[in-house]
Amino acid sequence: MSEDRSSSGQRSWLERLAQAFVHEPQNRQELLDVLREAHQNEVLDIEALSIIEGALQVSDMQVRDIMVPRSQMTTIKACQSPREFLPAVIEAAHSRYPVIGESIDEVLGILLAKDLLPLVLEADCERFNLKEVLRPATFVPESKRLNVLLREFRANRNHMAIVIDEYGGVSGLVTIEDVLEQIVGDIEDEHDVDDDSFIKPLPSGDFLVKGLTPIEDFNEHFDSGFSDEEFDTVGGLVANAFGHLPKRNEVVELQGLRIRVLNADSRRVHLLRITLINQ
């Protein structure tokens, strides 16, 4: 009997949700309100809601919002031998690298790490010709919308694009992973924080910080002066700064730090991304 009532209640809510869409929300906020109410009524779980919100947000974001700046790019010079560039490749552990000429503004192509595998069998790696294995580079403006970029990535089967500014100079790079992370959240390859590590530096110069990081440890790492009298962890401190339990991608600035929420639920903040504003 209770199962029948539960099924009836669920059908009733689904009918209400369908009815809401029959009349069509007049703007994005109304649509989000309907979806969040669906979550509160357990029609959508938090992960599904987060993905939908991320997908909607992507259409409002531009490449400049998520790109890796040129100062943080790991590049290879076309004139370098494998002995010269392999240490950087091993240290960065990326799958793709821009190959440049005389300067970073002269991108000749993209090197895939897997194309270096023949070096394992080469008795003389100096015979390796870097230019012969380069893939064409894709260039996009800083202003390109992320939803458009994602569509182009999928259509052209590209995974990386070089970002150029209004003068044609290189301002950074962006990958398909960077775009997808705005929808589904952080992908483990780049943003996984080890169980025994509260703070992890990222190639971009930002940091991933667990919400459970003790404020004392946070202060020591970032040379900040947050009080730990009221809150013991960074997650509690950030929630208090917002005045509510924040959702994914909400941002607050405190003591020269831009703090973006990457993962949170209805009870606490789990993961943050920290950017040094005055860097």
pLDDT at 7 over 60: no
pLDDT at 85 over 50: yes
User: Which domains can be identified in the chain, with CATH numbers?
Assistant: 64-183 (3.10.580.10), 187-276 (3.30.465.10)
Average pLDDT of the residues of the chain? 81
| Strand 170-175 with 139-141, pairing | unpaired
pLDDT digits (tens, 9 = 90+) for 182-241: 787 665 544 444 444 678 887 678 888 988 899 999 999 999 999 888 888 899 999 999
pLDDT at 268 over 90: no
Q: What is the DSSP string of 35-77?
A: HHHHHHTTSS-HHHHHHHHHHHHHTT-BGGGTPEEGGG---EE
* 99: Cα within 13 Å, side-chain hemisphere: 22
Reduce the DSSP state of residue 2 to 3 states and report it.
helix
Of residues 279 and 259, more confidently modeled: 259
Q: What is the pLDDT of residue 53?
A: 78
pLDDT at 126 over 60: yes
Distance from C-alpha of 228 to C-alpha of 232, rounded to nearest angstrom: 5
Of residues 12 and 32, more confidently modeled: 32
In this prediction the pTM is 0.59
Q: What is the pLDDT of residue 47?
A: 72
| Continuous segment of H or E residues that includes residue 140 | strand 139-141
- Contacting residues for 48 by C-beta, under 8 A, at least 6 apart: 39
pLDDT at 89 over 60: yes
Distance from C-alpha of 122 to C-alpha of 247, rounded to nearest angstrom: 52
